[in-house]
Chains A and B, each alone.
Chain A
Amino acid sequence: AQKITQTQPGMFVQEKEAVTLDCTYDTSDPSYGLFWYKQPSSGEMIFLIYQGSYDQQNATEGRYSLNFQKARKSANLVISASQLGDSAMYFCAMRGRNAGGTSYGKLTFGQGTILTVHP
């Protein structure tokens, strides 16, 4: 079984500052992938960043970086230089793989964090 926990229901940040959204996970799968998605008020799910459990380096995508600490089972999202358009709900998600490396396919989501960027 997999579990994703996001303990911050809401976060506030000033425009142009950095913000960290927390995510911890639990799984018994031998390998797995961790994802972050952004969901604006329109409802669409926007993929932000991916981290594989055996990736040596933390993932980065533009202003997004993932602070992956495997021993602590955490995969926090860092957004640098926040913009007003970053205001949205953010979800951390996991997808496991079996011992043969085949993905199970389905994603398990955390509860989400609502980020509000102030001007």
Chain B
Amino acid sequence: GAVVSQHPSWVICKSGTSVKIECRSLDFQATTMFWYRQFPKQSLMLMATSNEGSKATYEQGVEKDKFLINHASLTLSTLTVTSAHPEDSSFYICSARDRGHGDEQYFGPGTRLTVT
């Protein structure tokens, strides 16, 4: 099956710094990727839809200047958490849409961010 990777799998950073998370589709081209955020024992909340070669579409309430998304190639989307604060600590999961395979959506393993 299709594989989506995320890097890093976990990261600890200091308050005020920026962190970049990568999401890669390893064996298919993904024109669309999705970024989700999940707090412990809660549901996945869609943050934004990342489209290759165009601006991301953010969900209501998500600060686009704080969560920068770049989908520069058909296999890579990045999420940068700028000026991170402890409340940004969360589990971030990406998924990639494979239009060439029944429009299936494949999830990455997630990135656990801790801001101290």
Contacts and interface: CB of A to CB of B under 8 A. Distances in A.
Interface residues of B, number: 20
A75 interface: no
Contacts of B38: 43
A52 to B, nearest CB: 11
Contact of A44 (B32, B42, B109): B109
Interface stretch (B43-51, B63-71, B74-82): B43-51
Interface of A: 37, 42-45, 47, 89, 91, 95, 103, 105-112, 114
Interface centre among B43, B110, B112 (most CB of A within 10 A): B43
A58 to B, nearest CB: 19
Contacts of A114: 41
A1 B97 CA distance: 21
Contact of A105 (B34, B41, B42, B109): B34
A106 B46 contact: yes
19 contacts: A37-B107, A43-B91, A43-B110, A43-B112, A44-B110, A45-B93, A45-B110, A47-B107, A91-B43, A91-B44, A95-B105, A105-B34, A106-B34, A107-B34, A107-B44, A109-B45, A111-B43, A112-B41, A112-B42
B103 A103 contact: yes
A105 B49 contact: yes
A106 B49 contact: yes
Interface of B: 32, 34, 38, 41-46, 49, 91, 93, 95, 97, 103, 105, 107, 109-110, 112
Contacts of A45: 44, 93, 95, 107, 110
A108 B43 CA distance: 10
A112 B91 CA distance: 15
Given A45-B93, A91-B44, A107 B112 contact: no
B43 A107 contact: no
